[in-house]
Amino acid sequence: MYTANEKRYEKMKYNHFGKSGLRVSAISLGLWQNFGFGSDFIKAEEMCRTAFDLGITHFDLANNYGHPYNGSAEENFGKILDRGLRAYRDELCISTKAGYEMWDGVYGDRNGCRKYLIASLDQSLKRMGLEYVDIYYHHIFDPNTPLEETALALDQVVRQGKALYVGISNYNKEQTSAILDIFKELKTPFIVNQPSYSMLNRWVEDDGLDKFCIQNGIGLAVFSPLYQGFLTDRYLKGIPQDSRIGKGNTWIASQLDDKMLARLRALNDIAAGKGLSLSQLAIAWLLSNKAVATVLCGASRKEQIINNAGALEAGEFTSGELEEIEKILKA
């Protein structure tokens, strides 16, 4: 039987989601890849246990994780909970999402209608064996459903006790502002937006989403912090055959040109100067943005989780370091 590391809370940093009382580990484990059907279950379980032993309390899922076997990541996570982690349920912040294509027919297609959102959460709770999730997200903005309907559905699951807080994902500043107005009127505990964000993907800054969230008490839980593996040491000396690009499993392979490699190597030099890996530098840089409450990191083995958690040892960036990083990113 699994027994958690007694020292798990000693090194992890915890941040509030915006102005809410909910604190979240600065590093979170995302279960998008390597936790669904066909994955190595023992390795998946080992990664979840390693994460919690490091003080990572936030485990992020979605109804369609495990595609093409939608829901299989939640099913496996439920089994992992049953095999020892469930004893620590009240120490965990578990989130799930709905919005993308999930089941056949118009009611499980990509949307944000009340029927889909409520039915999907019921399914997710059954798969994980939970009475409630800590955060329930609408996964993607739906222009074909009135935003008020989506907001009311999320508000309803909180009032039913199926979720403690709600969030949105992949919403820009304008969309976030619109749904925030509705949530304010309903007094819904809306605390987080989950966008993609990294050194190489800075749309949240260009859009003004990060500043808007700071001003309005909303936290950011950012995903794809390593930009499909670019911000690791995987490609500094070429393209390994077992990498995402080597396998043809990523849409951004064409971006890995000589200019990008020069940029990555320069960032790696800065990381080395701070005693960090490139991935640790990338994560620490994200956390230097005050809007970011947590960085969602995926993993295929436990060593990656341990390395990611080491980003917290970076300390504060000096103004000179930030200026040097900015110069490299804009080169």
Assess whether the previous peptide bond of 143 is cis (omega < 30° from 0): no
* Residue 246: predicted pLDDT: 53
1 pLDDT band (50/70/90 cuts)?
Answer: confident
The C-alpha atoms of residue 222 and residue 282 are separated, in whole angstroms, by 12
Decide: helix, strand or coil at residue 35: coil
Dihedral of CA 286/287/291/295: which sign? positive
Contact 97, 138 (CB under 8 A): yes
Tens digits of residue pLDDT in 254-271: 788 889 999 999 999 999
First CA to last CA across the chain, in angstroms? 52
**Over residues 266-279, mean pLDDT:** 96
**pTM attached to this predicted model:** 0.95
Q: Average per-residue pLDDT in the chain?
A: 95
The C-alpha atoms of residue 218 and residue 221 are separated, in whole angstroms, by 10
When mean pLDDT is compared across 110-114, 240-244, 301-305, the lowest value belongs to: 240-244
How far from chain centre, in Å, is Cα 308?
Answer: 13
For the cut 80, the answer to whether the pLDDT of residue 2 exceeds it is: yes
234 pLDDT band (50/70/90 cuts)?
Answer: confident
- Token pair recorded at residue 321: 């370091």
Tens digits of residue pLDDT in 153-207: 999 999 999 999 999 999 999 999 999 999 999 999 999 999 999 999 999 999 9
* Residue 254: predicted pLDDT: 79
For the cut 90, the answer to whether the pLDDT of residue 250 exceeds it is: no
For the cut 70, the answer to whether the pLDDT of residue 249 exceeds it is: no
Q: What is the dihedral of CA 266, 270, 272, 274, to 10 degrees?
A: -170
Domains, the chain, in order of start with CATH, read 14-229+282-315 (3.20.20.100)
